[in-house]
Amino acid sequence: MGRNSNDPLWESFRNPTDTLLPNQTLERGSFLVSQKSQANFTQGRFYLRMLDNGNMVLVTQSVPSNMDYDDEYYNTQTSDTTNATNSGDKLVFEENGVMYVLKRNNQRQILTPRSIPSGSDNYHRVTLNFDGVLSHYYHSRILNSSGWNILWSQPNNICIEIDGDKGPGSCGYNNVCSLGSNNRPVCNCPKGYSLVDPNDAYGDCKPVFSISCDEVGRGSPEDLYSFIMIRDTDWPKSDFQIISPSTEQDCQNACLNDCFCVVAIYRSNSCWKKKLPLSNGRIDTNLNSKAFMKIRKDGVPPLSIPGFPNSGSSRSKNWRNLSVVLSALLGSSVLVNILFISVFCWGFFHIYKKKMKILRPTSHVADSMCHSFTYKELVEATKDFKEELGRGAFGIVYKGVMPIGSRNVVAIKKLDRVAHEAEKEFITEVNVISQTHHKNLVRLLGYCNEGAHRLLVYEYMSNGTLASFIFGDLKPTWSQRTNIAMGVARGLAYLHEECSTQIIHCDIKPQNILLDDHHVARISDFGLSKLMMINQSRTLTNIRGTRGYVAPEWFRNSQVTVKVDVYSFGVLLLEIITCRKNYENEESYGPEAILTDWVLDCLQEGKLEALVQSDFEALNDKKQLERFVMVGVWCIQEDPSTRPTMRKVCQMLEGSVEVTFPPCPYNFSITI
């Protein structure tokens, strides 16, 4: 019997690429493959496979050989070698949004959460993202402005789950992976390294300086190299020697005196020496480790002057050629020689001086990637400061367009409270700000310090402020809110403990938390509080901050520490949990008008569900809800010594440290 003429030879619905739609299935032997990057739709290196043994797995591949690496970073465990009928048969994505592995005995292993937005009111899709995370999205059929929201994703932490000996990991070689919102990885080159391809943040990083065994004997290692210390960062697959037992200082010395060693990891009285390329880089707060990264003391190699290259062979060749010319000229008359030498010296000095001026403009910002702009350039970039993005205590922010690396759109802040005569202090503080690099901080790209004009150029954050996100008409998902809260906590922990100069923000609030393209929380305006003090009296009682977020010690004659940020974060955390401002209208809210008081009442009375009414995702995870609320109350304790550090806050939010029931935060015997 011949084939029906109406039967298709091939159809796209039976051959998905990176996305499953409702009513689609994946039979044994079928797969999804990610795209290469967010903007590149060619084949990537992450695969979802329905294996012949019945398992659904996520794996990485070697591109372009298309050979699977051995390590599976997610596995449904639906194969059964002892009973074939218990093994998975196919992956099914139903019309109602439920996805499961259907076994040969017709039993189902459900992969989606129990509570799923209605299929009749929402569109659903499951996509293997370019970064290797499998995500289930839903989109309201009624509210077009709601966008695609995350229902669930796997794996829970791709930075850690990809742990094979082959391949670079979730980020490229020498790159470092940290967990962003919705379980998506965020990749950042460590200090002293830059992207091989500036347009691929998830790709390989290269050192911007040289570490070579050829330099052995040319000087002591102490003269050539120093270390940058990074906490809780590791490249677990790049070890070439383990020293145990070891002290922290012995670990540094061992790496310093080994020309192959680029990083030493110290943890639990042991030292791991690592060499290039570094693979499977990740940030993991459970490590409790210190990474000592070796860098040259003189930073990047000195820039070459045209005609005088740095490379030894070409430089020797150029000088040989020059010596031939000089020999010929010196054989002529004395007068000609004097004229030639005078002109040569004048020209060399003039060109060298001009070149140095180009290489080192008026910045004075040492060892940073910060650009110095003229005021005219920023006027042109903003079209005479036409489009205002927002305003706050430090000045007005405008949208601008200018090419800085791979970026075009930038945010330009005009500072209006810096003393114009304090140029040295301004440059010092800008230098400190520019050297802070963390995925949860808005990066400073450049500045202007020209006459009366003081401006800062930042990354542009496309999704605006956290305030507009959590206080808007559409309530963000619980997973979005928890990821944002943890991102802010990690950013503050970095400012307090990990960057070279400790920074107290002094004004943590939703308006100073921005959201990038992937809704990753990015802290803005850090370092500006100290910068604004340039023309203010530096008394302990000089209150800075915003009403409702200001810690009690600001009102007392007591020392202000990083704990003021912990207090502000506690208020912010409670706002993120409830999607409510810390102060509301008393006529409308009554006894619930003051958020901190209401949260405390609900916690003590065991009525936390009142804080997240109709938020089914939050209600389905009451343990996490209770943990987050208790952390918020610990942070707003009136006594600063009782508040946890931001590092401990991170551990408490993640669940790696137990959170005990907090005491009442208020000491009513103290008058504020």
Residues that are catalytic: 507
The burial class, CB within 10 Å (0-12 / 13-18 / 19+), for 49 is buried
Rounded CA separation 570/643 (Å): 10
Rounded CA separation 458/520 (Å): 16
Question: Residue 218's CB: how many other CB atoms inside 10 A?
Answer: 9
Radius of gyration of the CA atoms of the chain, in A? 29
317 is in an annotated binding site: no
Query: 125 - beta bridge partners?
Result: 137
| Structure-block tokens of residue 636 | 């707003």
Distance in Å from the first CA to the final CA of the chain: 91
Cα 384 to chain centroid distance, Å, stands at: 32
Reduced to 3 states, what is the DSSP secondary structure of residue 90? strand
Q: Is the dihedral of CA 593, 596, 602, 604 positive or negative?
A: negative
DSSP 495: I
Rounded CA separation 114/331 (Å): 93
CA 432 vs CA 225, 273, 567: distances in Å: 21, 30, 24
Rounded CA separation 46/598 (Å): 46
Nearest Cα to Cα of residue 658 among 635, 630, 622: 630
In the block, residue with structure tokens 């405008």: 398
Question: 3-state SS of 147-195?
Answer: CCEEEEEECCCHHHHCCCCCCCCCCCCCCEEEECHHHCEEEECCCCEEE
List Cβ neighbours of 542 (8 Å cut-off, separation of 6 or more): 533, 536
Q: Going edge to edge, which strands form the sheet with 388-392?
A: 371-372, 444-450, 453-459, 407-415, 395-404, 388-392
Nearest Cα to Cα of residue 513 among 480, 487, 494: 487
List Cβ neighbours of 215 (8 Å cut-off, separation of 6 or more): 224, 259
Annotated binding residues for ATP: 414
Annotated binding residues: 414
